[in-house]
Structure 1
Amino acid sequence: MSRTTIVREIRKAAELFKNFDITKSLNFYGNLATKYEVVV
């Protein structure tokens, strides 16, 4: 496995993690918003 391939794989993984974090955050804030609406 060449060095460039490893770097490319790491970048791909980083992108996936970034997207995953964003989705998790959106879900979290979405849940907070719905709870708040229920309370109000």
Structure 2
Amino acid sequence: MEQNKGTTSIDPQMLIELVRMRMPFGKYRNHILCDLPEPY
């Protein structure tokens, strides 16, 4: 697969791990990141 200059490939597994992480502090502590309100 050919990549364009200046682009970075994104590891799908890394995105899944990121979305499943929990907020470590604040009002939404222990909420899964994908469940946080967009403005937050």
TM range (shorter): 0.3 to 0.5
TM-score, normalization: structure 2? 0.32
Q: Look at both structures and tell me which one has the larger radius of gyration over its CA atoms.
A: 1
**Which of the two has greater helix per residue?**
1
